[in-house]
Structure 1
Amino acid sequence: MIERLFKVLIIGDGTVGKTSFVERYVSNRFRDDYKTTIGVDFALKVLNVNDDETVRLQLWDIGGQERYTSLTRVYYKDASACVIIFDVTTRKTFNSVMKWKNDLDSKVSLKDGSPLPCLLLANKCDLAQHRVVSSHDIQELSQNNGFIGWSEISVKECSNISESMMFLVEEILARNTLTGQPGSVADELTDSTGRITLTPNTSKSSIFCCT
């Protein structure tokens, strides 16, 4: 049995739903009373890729307050991938995406020197009446700034959570093959805008969660 451990960063402004995203993905639970993350929190998600391979995702939920920015170099060390989350009902959090992306790219890279694969997620899409960031805006930001893909999600309604993370895991595995040859699945698992199209039925490796 092959076991792989990957560190995945979850970053973005405070109150965008990073902690609730991790809780939903790891435990399929949702609450309205999450407290502000102080520094960094950790969670572990175990996935079975096939009968011979297990993936352990170490999720680092990093506090979004400005005072933690000086510590991000330490938090980012040895990461394999990143998720940047913003809130579609708060324009400020969308405007901050590139602050987080630039901070990430300036402080960490893969062993071959290439940027960390980074996924852009737009949370709270269930609040359509309060939405202030369009799909076109998200698409443009993603395509112009090196994201491997993007998706609109709702942590509250459990919409596109596992699909988005499955996409990211596929990308991590493609870049960490046993032969050491880097690859990419982003082109075949996104549409022409970079939006994630992967579903559980089309996953190449049929990843599923351990129970």
Structure 2
Amino acid sequence: MNENGEAKTGKGICLSRLITINDHLRLARLQKKEINFKIVVIGDVGVGKTSIIQRYTSAQFSSTHKATLGADFAVKTLEWDEVTRVNLHLWDVCGQARFGSLTSVFYRHTAAAVLVFDLTRPETYNNIVKWLKDLRQKVQLPGGLRIPIVLFANKGDISTETLPPQIDDFCKENDILYWFITSAKSNIQIDEAMIKLANAAMRNHENLQVPLLTDDVIKLSEETVDSQTQRNWKPCAFV
């Protein structure tokens, strides 16, 4: 007990002081500026999109998943700094062809994207071109700039022998920021990849005044973007 009759908790701080500090911290969390980014996760059926999102947002993995119908989403909250909280809305877009006509709806307000292929099924890498073309035709940032994209070579816990040797060149030619060997099952490089993607989305938001998820400003177009005039070259790297 101190001279005021207050119970102390450990050395140098009393219970009432601790409660006051906790109240301030709680108030600071409530007063943080919140920024929302929508990130679409796209690729063929069965490449592991749902497992990647589940691993990243809830630190869980399940070997049994039903195929996503249409789209689903989950949220990952990042305490970015002392005054900013970033909410990543990860959209799990169905890979079935019959939902292809709806991608322009699913892509709406997208600030960044993850392309996923399955290292155990090489044909899913070949289809990345289709997914990338569809995304680029339908989503642009203000001013016609491209959204940041990372590429996941998923199920790397099973095998990496089928890793395409041309993946570096593919990323550079298609303005993909980074590629990663990932595994939802073994939790390989997913957190690192998402932080890099979130950083890219934040830079766009700060430097280009990219609208937030709630703003209906992102341009959606069915016209093909001129890749020569719109290309914004950035280094592609395996991390």
* TM-score under structure 2 length normalisation: 0.74
Aligned with 1:106: secondary structure? helix
Q: Name the structure 1 match of 2:40.
A: 9
Aligned with 1:80: secondary structure? strand
Distance 1:127 1:66 in 2: 27
Q: CA deviation at 1:3?
A: 0.8
1:78-105 alpha-carbon deviations (Å, 9 max, x no partner) = 1100000000111110000010000000
Q: State yes or no: 1:194 paired with 2:225.
A: no
Distance 1:34 1:59 in 2: 17
Q: Name the structure 2 match of 1:170.
A: 199
Distance 1:31 1:122 in 2: 19
> How does 1:1-211 map onto structure 2 within 5 Å?
1-128=32-159, 131-134=161-164, 136-177=165-206, 180=209, 187=235, 194-196=237-239
Distance 1:106 1:167 in 2: 24
Which structure has the greater CA radius of gyration?
A: 2
> Any unmatched runs of 5+ in structure 1?
188-192, 197-211
**1:94–1:133 Cα contact (<8 Å) kept:** no
Aligned with 1:177: secondary structure? helix
Q: CA deviation at 1:179?
A: 7.5
Aligned with 1:176: secondary structure? helix
Point out the more displaced range, 66-75 or 120-129: 120-129
Change (3 A) 1:170 1:55: same
Distance 1:173 1:41 in 2: 23
Q: For residue 18 of structure 1, what is the amino acid of its counterpart?
A: K
Q: For residue 155 of structure 2, what is the amino acid of its counterpart?
A: K
Change (3 A) 1:113 1:91: same
Q: CA deviation at 1:141?
A: 1.5
Q: For residue 76 of structure 1, what is the amino acid of its counterpart?
A: Y
Distance 1:74 1:83 in 2: 17
Q: CA RMSD in A?
A: 1.8
Q: CA deviation at 1:132?
A: 2.0
1:96-155 alpha-carbon deviations (Å, 9 max, x no partner) = 0010000000011112211111111110111127x4233x33222211111111111111
Q: CA deviation at 1:178?
A: 6.8
Q: CA deviation at 1:2?
A: 1.4
* Aligned residue pairs, count: 186
Among the aligned pairs, what percent are the same residue?
35
**1:12–1:100 Cα contact (<8 Å) kept:** yes
Distance 1:58 1:102 in 2: 22
Point out the more displaced range, 111-120 or 21-30: 111-120
**1:39–1:68 Cα contact (<8 Å) kept:** yes
